[in-house]
Amino acid sequence: MKWYWIKTSWLIKKIFPKYTWGFPPMERIVYLTFDDGPTPEITPWVLDQLQQFDAKATFFCIGDNIKKHPDVFQQIIQNQHSVGNHTFNHLNGWKTQTDQYLKNVMACAKTIEAASQQPSTINSQPLFRPPYGKIKKSQAKELLSSGYQIIMWDVLSADFDGRVSPEKCLENVLRNIRPGSIVVFHDSVKAFKNLQYALPRTLAFLKEQKYQCEGIV
């Protein structure tokens, strides 16, 4: 059975200080993120939920999915959400040679740029999230030196985990979210059972608690 942090340990953040795990808690702002899209069955539903609550988010997109579903990717752009790079083929950095990994990241960047008809992100700096949160030091060093922000997370919803119930997925978020938190969801078919339950309830909770949801820039 695989184990993972729901609330990222302060020790992990200290060991990897060049990665972005969250933001200063000076205001009631949180950062919802969605990995693995765009997915035609799921991403438009996510966009609709966000619009209903006047919330902005960040979508870490797989290049191959952008290529397959450019119209769905355009919906993300048109709704003025932030976009990040999640490799072209959802590679596990620990299992991939650095040169191959970096070429895959660049392939995704080119796909984002072509699909959005603008630079490789709509943000001030290009954003990158390693699939599975797994990236080698050599890979991270190259991306950081190229100007990327490596965006990790403070709270993992675990919506992707079939062992986790929708109720537990929601609890994972609501118990751990704080001002400045980066929260991980997935706009994927695999995660949708949990996401469908947890996302609207998370958005309702955040609105009730006077939080703003913003994209990462």
Summarize pLDDT for 156-190 with one digit per residue, the tens.
999 999 999 999 999 999 999 999 999 999 999 99
Q: Decide if 169 is inside a domain.
A: yes
**pLDDT of the residue at 116:** 87
Q: Decide if 40 is inside a domain.
A: no
Amino acid at 170: L
Tell me which residues are annotated as active site: 35, 186
Answering whether pTM is above 0.85, one says yes
Counting Cβ atoms within 10 Å, is residue 117 exposed (0-12), middle (13-18) or buried (19+)? exposed
Tally the domains of the chain.
1
Tens of pLDDT, residues 90-143: 999 999 999 999 999 999 999 999 998 755 444 568 999 999 999 999 999 999
pLDDT tops 80 at residue 32: yes
Amino acid at 144: L
Q: Decide if 4 is inside a domain.
A: no
Q: Decide if 89 is inside a domain.
A: yes
Counting Cβ atoms within 10 Å, is residue 58 exposed (0-12), middle (13-18) or buried (19+)? buried
**pLDDT of the residue at 186:** 98
CB 111 within 8 A of CB 63: yes
C-alpha 58: how far from chain center: 6
**pLDDT of the residue at 124:** 61
Q: Decide if 84 is inside a domain.
A: yes
Q: Decide if 71 is inside a domain.
A: yes
Q: Decide if 36 is inside a domain.
A: no
**pLDDT of the residue at 118:** 55
Q: Decide if 37 is inside a domain.
A: no
Instruction: Give me the CATH number covering residue 159.
Output: 3.20.20.370
User: Which domain does 60 fall in, by range?
Assistant: 10-23+50-213
